[in-house]
Amino acid sequence: MSVERSTRAVKQWALECGFDLAGVCPAQPVEDAAIYDDWAARGLAGRMTYLTDRRSALRHDPRTLLASARSIVCVAKLYNGPQPYSTTRSQAELAWISRYAWGPDYHHVLRQGLTQLAERIGGESKVCVDTAPLLERSYARLAGLGWIGRNTCLINQMHGSWFFLGELLTDALLEPDQPPTDRCGTCRRCIDACPTQALVPRHGTYELDARLCISYLTIELRGPTPAPLRAATGANVFGCDICQDVCPWNRRAPQSAAFSPVAAFLEAPPLERLAEVTATEFRELFRRTPIERARYTGFLRNVATAMGNSGLARFRPALERMAASADPAVSEHALWALQRVRQ
């Protein structure tokens, strides 16, 4: 079998293993590594030390993860659903949870599919999801899956940006695909729509200042959210979809049932219901979903902030209860919110 035909076969196997997009690139260092190092050195990763510690150097070469790797099979799996986008909703009593977190934890789903693909290819391989020290968007771009947009998401012309990425390092020598043309043009809708202005200019393009990103503030950041940024987080209690919701390439993005909501209320959760969740319920409701990452107290902190941003006096009892929390961040945010809701 020729190298070229092997590549076609591998990509077809990837689709049969449940992925929506697949491409191949060489298992070599990428020029983007220098850009990443500069981004991290300037502190734009915030407190996400797992992006800047000793593991950071591993991102320079995929062969640090698999010495025999010669190719990377990059895959993508869609998670867009039929539900409305955050930018079309206006009910102040409802929270917003990023649509990627409505379904089961994607790490398990992608790892299962990649493991199946590895078995079909044979030889030495290593499965990577986003927990591996790999510049996955850069390799996905080289593999032809899409271009990296101004919102820093990977965008595919036909499928938009609502997909999870995964990689399989393999010792198989495969014919590489070619990266697509950047099609953002002069569009800056994501930049203008970001409430915290987290997309900042850099050398003629844009980069993400994670310290300002609502997803970072509501998921990764521990302790209190900086006071100047609280109002801008709006109703977001876990993640943020705004820069993808406004992207023109997502207007006709296909839908998938692969990550259907694990609980019906995740699509439009009432803030009052979320404020009542106990630590035990939090573990039960969100077990094996991405929402676990925010931790219980971080989640309540975000709920209190969203209640304050709603301006609704009906939330005062719940906020008064959270103001008595033993967790300093929850208490601080609840007290802040009480000053913002109408009497």
Structure tokens at 301: 């902190």
Q: Is residue 66 one of the residues assigned to a domain?
A: yes
Q: What is the dihedral of CA 182, 186, 192, 196, to 10 degrees?
A: 40
Distance CA 317, CA 264 (A): 25
Rg (CA), the chain: 21
Q: Is 144 left (phi over 0), alpha (psi -120 to 50) or beta?
A: left
CB environment 18-53: b (16+ within 10 A), e (fewer): bbbbbbbbbbeebebbebbeebbeeebbbebeebbe
pLDDT tens string 123-168: 999 999 988 889 999 999 999 999 999 999 999 999 999 999 999 9
Structure tokens at 329: 């961040």
DSSP secondary structure code for residue 96 in this structure = E
The residues annotated with a catalytic role in the active site are 130
Mean pLDDT of 328-340: 98
Residue 55 pLDDT level (bands cut at 50, 70, 90): confident
Q: Is residue 275 one of the residues assigned to a domain?
A: no
Helix (H) or strand (E) segment spanning residue 155: strand 154-155
Confidence (pLDDT) at 46: 97
Distance CA 39, CA 29 (A): 17
Mean pLDDT of 221-225: 98
Confidence (pLDDT) at 1: 40
Q: Is residue 292 one of the residues assigned to a domain?
A: no
Contact predicate 51/45, CB 8 Å? yes
DSSP secondary structure code for residue 141 in this structure = H
Query: Domain count of the chain?
Result: 1
Share the mean pLDDT of the chain: 94
Provide, rounded to the nearest whole percent, the portion of the chain with pLDDT above 70. 98
SS3 228: helix
Confidence (pLDDT) at 4: 55
Mean pLDDT of 14-41: 96
Q: Is residue 187 one of the residues assigned to a domain?
A: no
Query: CATH number, domain at 120?
Result: 3.40.109
Structure tokens at 51: 């992006």
Residue 325 pLDDT level (bands cut at 50, 70, 90): very high
Mean pLDDT of 156-181: 97
- With a CB cutoff of 8 Å and minimum separation 6, the contacts of 204 are none
Q: Is residue 72 one of the residues assigned to a domain?
A: yes
Half-sphere exposure of 246 (CA within 13 A, CB side): 15
Q: Which range, 96-105, 244-253, 261-270, has the best average confidence (pLDDT)?
A: 244-253
Q: Is residue 149 one of the residues assigned to a domain?
A: yes
pLDDT tens string 263-296: 766 778 999 999 999 999 999 988 888 999 999 9
Angle at 77 between CA 74 and CA 83, to 5 degrees: 155
Q: Is residue 39 one of the residues assigned to a domain?
A: yes
Minimum mean pLDDT range among 125-134, 162-171, 244-253, 330-339: 125-134
Distance CA 124, CA 106 (A): 24
pLDDT tens string 191-204: 999 999 999 999 88
Predicted model pTM: 0.94
SS3 209: coil
- With a CB cutoff of 8 Å and minimum separation 6, the contacts of 195 are 214, 232, 233, 234, 242
Domain of 67?
A: 3-81+104-170
Q: Is residue 158 one of the residues assigned to a domain?
A: yes
Distance CA 306, CA 245 (A): 19
- With a CB cutoff of 8 Å and minimum separation 6, the contacts of 335 are 323
